[in-house]
């Protein structure tokens, strides 16, 4: 051991430990970002299975980094996350859910899409996330939840009135609502004519 006083040795060990924790956090965030890019590439190529795996891996790398408690658990305690790390974790978490939602729409797994979008909308400051509202609205429409779809697509349209995809989906929903109303009218016609 060195001739340094015990308190100085302890401070050196603490600094070394904090540095290794910081390196581990940076490494996890870097790998998660790489998995996101790999998933995006696979998605663009139509390889949804690989993309889904990559997006799930994002979650695996960030799940131990709890931004809500502002720390990363370690055997020696908790190292507080920096604001930049918290922002990166939130962005990766959003990407995880939104990108999975896009895959679920492509694969017509509408319930899973709805759940993934709802997870994004529950994140702090994301109640008005246009992509999540649009994708959830589209999924709800496909599931027959026309009221929920209308609510989501209306809010998305208010947030971005120029988005052609939102406008197109609102038109599709309007046709579905008309068809539903016509069926209901026909179904209940004559029911109260006694």
In tens, the pLDDT along 22-58 reads 888 899 999 999 999 999 999 999 999 999 999 999 9
Nearest to 33 by CA among 94, 106, 118, 122: 94
Inter-axis angle of helices 6-44 and 48-62, nearest 10: 160
Which pTM value belongs to this model?
0.79
Residues facing 60 on adjacent strands? none
């Amino acid at each position: 051991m060195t001739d340094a006083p015990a308190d100085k040795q302890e401070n050196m060990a603490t600094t070394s430990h904090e540095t290794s924790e910081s390196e581990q956090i940076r490494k996890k965030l870097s790998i998660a970002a790489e998995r996101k890019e790999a998933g995006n590439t696979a998605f663009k190529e139509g390889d949804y299975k690989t993309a889904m795996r990559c997006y799930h891996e994002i979650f695996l790398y960030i799940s131990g980094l709890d931004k809500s408690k502002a720390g990363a658990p370690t055997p020696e305690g908790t190292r507080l996350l920096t604001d930049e790390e918290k922002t990166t974790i939130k962005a990766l978490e959003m990407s995880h859910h939104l990108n999975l939602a896009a895959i679920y729409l492509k694969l017509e797994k509408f319930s899973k899409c709805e759940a993934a979008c709802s997870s994004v909308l529950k994140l702090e400051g994301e109640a008005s996330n246009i992509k999540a509202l649009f994708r959830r609205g589209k999924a709800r429409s496909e599931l027959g939840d026309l009221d929920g779809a209308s609510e989501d697509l209306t809010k998305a349209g208010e947030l971005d009135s120029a988005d052609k995809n939102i406008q197109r989906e609102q038109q599709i929903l309007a046709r579905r609502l008309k068809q539903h109303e016509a069926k209901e009218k026909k179904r209940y016609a004559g029911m109260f004519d006694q």
